[in-house]
């Protein structure tokens, strides 16, 4: 988790959901996308002072000193606040507003096959996925080492049947505190570990295997199909 996400909501909808108390700037816009893989650009929210900013940032990051070619797209909540790997970007908190994410489950009739499922909030609201990253501020342009990672936790409840990990989804009322640079490290970690949305917040259903290819990008990818 999580290997593909969908982002098709508008910035205005997100700002209204968050009831953001200050100004908001959609610095970079993006069309609706239903099959976003790692290493490509995702919409990312972060705070500059009291302004909520939306940028497009590469989904994946590694520290400059890493010697391998991996570009991790997810950071484990159990380690992210204390790991030397993520130390440089842990203070740079963000949110990836996603409408849902995809996971693959072994076909009971043919274990060699995996069937895709789409997971979303049961109430239809966007999922506010906690993230950290290195991203432009002010008038900066995108830089070579910019990127972000979505924070994940162990799955619980029925979600375990789909995958053993899931993104940490924050309640809308806690996002401002998460994004605030003044929020102490201990409190930020508490938000992730103790106050994320519970498993019963979500629903999931099987979707077309078209999503297996990132070449397919349409809204039909999140339509439920008969089992």
The closest alpha carbon to 37, from 68, 70, 7, belongs to 7
Helix (H/G/I), strand (E/B), else coil: 205: strand
The closest alpha carbon to 172, from 196, 203, 194, 188, belongs to 196
Residues 6 or more apart whose Cβ sits within 8 Å of residue 5: 36, 42, 96, 98, 100, 101, 102, 129, 150
Annotated active-site residue 103? The verdict is: yes
Which of the residues 16, 25, 26, 103 is marked catalytic? Answer: 103
In sequence order, the β-bridge partners of residue 75 are: 151
Annotated active-site residue 127? The verdict is: no
The closest alpha carbon to 60, from 46, 74, 80, belongs to 74
Which of the residues 2, 99, 127, 197 is marked catalytic? Answer: 2
User: Catalytic residue numbers?
Assistant: 2, 103
């Amino acid at each position: 988790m999580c290997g593909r996400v969908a982002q098709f909501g508008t910035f205005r909808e997100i700002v209204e959901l968050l009831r953001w108390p200050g100004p908001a700037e959609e610095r970079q816009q993006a069309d609706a996308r239903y099959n976003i893989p790692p290493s490509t650009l995702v919409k990312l929210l972060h705070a500059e002072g009291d302004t909520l900013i939306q940028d497009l940032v590469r989904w994946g990051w590694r520290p400059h000193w890493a010697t391998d070619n991996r570009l991790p797209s997810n950071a484990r909540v159990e380690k992210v606040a204390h790991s030397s790997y993520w130390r440089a970007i842990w203070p740079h908190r963000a949110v990836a507003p996603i409408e849902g994410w995809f996971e693959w489950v072994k076909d009971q009739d043919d274990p060699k096959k995996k069937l895709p499922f789409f997971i979303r909030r049961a109430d239809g609201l966007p999922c506010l996925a906690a993230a950290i990253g290195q991203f432009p501020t002010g008038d900066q342009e995108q830089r070579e080492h910019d990127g972000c990672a979505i924070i994940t936790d162990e799955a619980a409840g029925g979600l375990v049947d789909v995958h053993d990990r899931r993104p940490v989804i924050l309640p809308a009322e806690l996002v401002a505190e998460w994004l605030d640079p003044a929020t102490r490290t201990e409190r930020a970690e508490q938000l992730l570990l103790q106050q994320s949305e519970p498993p019963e917040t979500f629903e999931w259903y099987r979707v077309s295997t078209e999503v297996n290819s990132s070449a397919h990008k349409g809204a039909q990818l999140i339509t439920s199909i008969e089992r």
